[in-house]
Chain A
Amino acid sequence: QSVLTQPPSVSGVPGQRVTMSCTGSSSNIGAGYDVHWYQQFPGTAPRLLIYGNSNRPSGVPDRFSGSKSGTSASLAISGLQAEDEADYYCQSYDSSLSGSLFGGGTKLTVL
């Protein structure tokens, strides 16, 4: 089954650095397909945060960074701010699906 696994929740205090993972398999991340990240606030549409594993669209602060290794990817947020509290989703192509696959999402809480 094609799945991208994300931890349901992560938390941190303002100023801290937090990371969240996205674990896939040989049919998606492990096959070399790019990982992309989205940020979603309650009641709003997702917003592209990171594309192509580690690239930031214009307007995204450099506090956000992405990386990929093997069958996993990670999103890091440094200098955590209260406004970063949101849901974060990873997305990749899956060859078994012949289409896009989203992770289950990680809820970031800023304590």
Chain B
Amino acid sequence: QVQLQESGPGLVKPSGTLSLTCAVSGDSISSSYWWTWVRQPPGKGLEWLGEIFHRGGINYNPSLKSRVTMSIDNSKNQFSLRLSSVTAADTAVYFCAREKRLTYHHYYMDVWGKGTTVTVSS
């Protein structure tokens, strides 16, 4: 059974950098799947942040592109998210998920982590 678990600081100061890790168990991070981050501000909907593939493919949401960085650690079977210059608007529950691709442009998130709450505040 594939499981994803997010971890990282729950509180980040404004203008700081948010750093989260998603540990994958029950599957290899080097398998055929892409891995993604999605966030949900309090009381709002889901926002796709970006995705990463172990062979070097990365796509970011253009609205965050200058601030977001994703990476994969094959040795630890985990992937990470870094979001710089954060503001209160980045306060959200952050989910990591596995992407199942039918074709390159046809994919969905079939396994999700439970999510971790990150608050941006001084």
Instruction: Tell me if A99 and B106 are in contact (CB < 8 A).
Output: no
A51 touches B110 (CB 8 A): yes
B90: Cβ under 8 A from any A Cβ: no
Question: Which residues of A sit under 8 angstroms from B102, Cβ to Cβ?
Answer: 34, 52
Q: Are B95 and A45 in contact (CB under 8 A)?
A: yes
How many chain B residues touch A (Cβ–Cβ < 8 Å)? 25
Asked if B46 contacts A89 (CB within 8 A), the reply is: yes
B55 at the interface (CB under 8 A from A): no
Is the beta-carbon distance between B106 and A34 smaller than 8 angstroms? yes
Taking CB atoms, residues of chain B closer than 8 Å to A34 are 102, 106, 108
CB of A30, distance to nearest CB on chain B (Å): 14
* B95 partner residues in chain A, CB cutoff 8 A: 45-46
A101 adjacent to chain B (CB < 8 Å):
yes
A residues in contact with B60, CB < 8 Å: 99
- Interface locus among A11-19, A73-81, A102-110: A102-110
Please count how many residues in chain A sit with their CB below 8 Å of the partner chain's CB atoms: 25
The A-B contact count (CB < 8 A) is 66
Can you name the residue of chain B whose Cβ is closest to the Cβ of A48? B110
Q: Report which of A46, A99, A104 forms a contact with B61, defined as CB distance below 8 A.
A: A99
**Contacting pair B48 A51 (CB below 8 A):** no
Q: Nearest Cβ in chain A — how far from B121, in angstroms?
A: 21
- Residues of B near A102 (CB, < 8 A) are 38, 45-48
Known: A89-B45, A89-B46. A100 touches B36 (CB 8 A): yes
Given contacts A48-B108, A91-B46, A100-B36, 15 further A-B contacts (CB under 8 A): A33-B106, A45-B114, A46-B38, A46-B109, A52-B108, A91-B48, A97-B62, A99-B48, A99-B59, A100-B51, A101-B48, A102-B45, A102-B47, A102-B48, A103-B45
